[in-house]
Amino acid sequence: MIAGVIHPENVPFAPFAASGSSWQDHTAFLTGSSGNAPVANEDGSLHLVFYGMICNTAALRDELGNTGHPFRSNDPGELLLRLYEEKGDSFVRKLDGAFTFALWDARREKLLLGRDRAGLKPLYYFQHKSSLVFAGDLPTLRKHPDFPAEIRCQAVADFLSLQYVPTPGTVYRNVFKLPPASILRFDLANGIYVVKKYWELKFLPKQKISFTDAKMELRRRVTHAVQKRLEADASYGVFLSGGVDSGIIAAVMAQLLPGEQIPAFTIGFEDAAYDERSLARSSGEFINKLSGGKLILQEKTLHAIPFRDFCKWFKNTGEPYCDTSLLPAGALCAFAREQVTAALCGDAADELFGGYERYQAMKLAQLCNILPETFRKCFFRKLLQGHLADAGERTFSGRLRRLCRTLGEDASRQYFSILDRCPAEIRQVLFGDRLKGLTDPASVFGLHWNARNIADRCMETDFHLYLASDAIPKMHYAATAAGLDVRSPFLDREVVEFAASLPASFKVHGRERKYILREAFADCLAPEIFRGRKKGFGVPVGNLLRTIWQKDVPGILFAEPLFREGWVNRNGVEKLWQEHLDGKRDHTYILCSILALSLFLESDRKGS
């Protein structure tokens, strides 16, 4: 992680390169941060702190080989400084990997902050008078004495709907996340900063390519992406679930690492609706038949997740966040770290290749929208009111409820309604005085659309919103806590850009999802994996709330600051809790979000 502050009293930075002292010593400030040591150029006019990895280091070194300045080390920071000297601010476009950096240019008196294209490494910042303060996580940034600690009410309302605060905002007013694929330029002379995108994923225009050629090209790019993530000095493993994505990554690793055995890590549950161990075994055994036994299957069963683990994870994220799949992700990373220092995963394939059921639901919604709006709303809302039991999201009736709620919405709000965990009927009974009158975040769901196809539009939205603010931070939290380096080949630039350029019909094809991905790697997938329906990496939290967590939950769920400070209504929370306990409704998502909000408020009051 990197951390620092720039203001007139602590520049220039020339002394710290010679003295060997840290970036924090000369930028003054963030107690407890763990920033890497800075790197300077030959004349001491440039200083850089870097966190992460660059996949194309060798190619970039070759490109710079004839500039007359031999490299003094293998430090990626030195490479970045050389690129900056040659290319200026645009040097970041050359980088392929997962990273953040802070670069101080003493001659021009400017600071550059940068973040990788997918946002795999986070960076937060705020401005105070003539200072710019930044850090790789919110708890570290929160320690700065000038931190603006006012909570933003709209962010809390957004969180209760989405279970995350959308990028680039944070829960704090005037504190921001640097968006993925962006640089921030801060000019010390005038105290002004500007944030600019250096890359944008485009879903138009589409390639004119045959399905057969697209399959071959996709396979080549994914294989190359895996290979690039195996070149650093580390001991490797792979996450292996019962799904297509991790099975592909594991199979490609087995092909690329001849003579090596690869630990493959799986987490399972006793609840069959959430357990994929048998499918993971089938996947691993199939790959071993192809590779001669390369994978060493490693299983761990989570028999019972204690409520204290929920509290531990969601109290330390720095702002309200509540994707409960963080619980198994954290356990999986800790399990893998017992044996390896790096693991490859299949994250992002669903968002890039149409893996979610909701993409098909939106295609159906588009067809239903030809019906008169008044009739459609009345019909589907009546179905919701009394004809469909709410037995949980993974049940047929639960999925049907979500579909009916979507079909009964305005066309402009339909995709948001699929993902909204705090619909209007819950907001009415739940929201306290501080949240009343605030809008839901539906409007942000159309900000990134440039595609015409409805499935493409949803994937585009998920890439910019869900991946950036939920799925990627989840794995970052889990991996960082375990000290594990987790890498996702599907987020390689070449794979991402190619996926976006493909026709939507290559991805969502009739009832088939991730169609081209499955077909491109059909020979690597066990038949039951190839044909299988996605489960998702979830936890049976709904049952835990009703059973082993039940006695401990009220102490957090009914914590006084939630009500005294006007965030939520006590009667509303009591209603939701009792309905869930009685099995009348499944309120898992909103109850967990209230718990996470309560934990955040407790942490915030302590200033950590």
Q: Does residue 4 carry a pLDDT above 60? A: yes
Q: Does residue 393 carry a pLDDT above 80? A: no
CB 134 within 8 A of CB 2: yes
Q: Does residue 32 carry a pLDDT above 80? A: no
Average pLDDT value for the chain: 88
Least confident window among 71-80, 172-181, 255-264, 347-356: 71-80
Distance CA 468, CA 165 (A): 10
Question: How confident is residue 99, by pLDDT bands cut at 50, 70 and 90?
Answer: very high
Q: Does residue 20 carry a pLDDT above 70? A: no
Amino acid at 313: W
Question: How confident is residue 274, by pLDDT bands cut at 50, 70 and 90?
Answer: confident
Query: What is the reported pLDDT for 88?
Result: 94
- The number of residues making up the chain comes to 608
Asked if the peptide bond before residue 179 counts as cis, ω within 30 degrees of 0, the response is no
Q: Which helix (H) or strand (E) holds 387?
A: none
CB 263 within 8 A of CB 303: no
pTM for the full predicted model: 0.91
**CATH code reported for the domain at 3-197:** 3.60.20.10
Query: What is the reported pLDDT for 443?
Result: 87
Query: What is the reported pLDDT for 281?
Result: 93
CATH architecture, domain defined by 211-303+314-354+455-531: 3-Layer(aba) Sandwich (3.40)
- What's the Cα-to-Cα distance from 163 to each of 221, 421, 450, rounded to whole Å? 33, 8, 25
Distance CA 465, CA 448 (A): 9
Q: Does residue 308 carry a pLDDT above 60? A: yes
Question: How confident is residue 67, by pLDDT bands cut at 50, 70 and 90?
Answer: low
277: tokens are: 């161990």
Question: How confident is residue 66, by pLDDT bands cut at 50, 70 and 90?
Answer: low
CB 160 within 8 A of CB 597: yes
Quote the Cα angle for 127-139-125, to 5°.
20
Residue 278's nearest CA partner among 286, 287, 268 is 268
Q: Which residue has the higher pLDDT, 39 or 21?
A: 39
Q: Which burial class, exposed, middle or buried, applies to 104 when counting CB atoms under 10 A from its CB (0-12, 13-18, 19+)? A: buried
- What's the Cα-to-Cα distance from 139 to each of 6, 125, 172, 184, rounded to whole Å? 19, 12, 12, 21
Domain boundaries, the chain: 3-197, 211-303+314-354+455-531
Q: Which residues of 302-331 are buried (b: 16+ CB within 10 A; e: fewer)?
A: beebebeebbebbbbbbbbbbbbbbbbbbb
Q: Does residue 327 carry a pLDDT above 80? A: yes
Q: Which residue has the higher pLDDT, 217 or 270?
A: 217
Query: What is the reported pLDDT for 24?
Result: 41
Least confident window among 218-232, 303-317, 355-369, 382-396: 382-396
Residue 344's nearest CA partner among 258, 237, 263 is 237
Distance CA 382, CA 478 (A): 42
Quote the Cα angle for 476-487-292, to 5°.
140
CB 282 within 8 A of CB 525: no
Query: What is the reported pLDDT for 153?
Result: 97
Query: What is the reported pLDDT for 371?
Result: 86
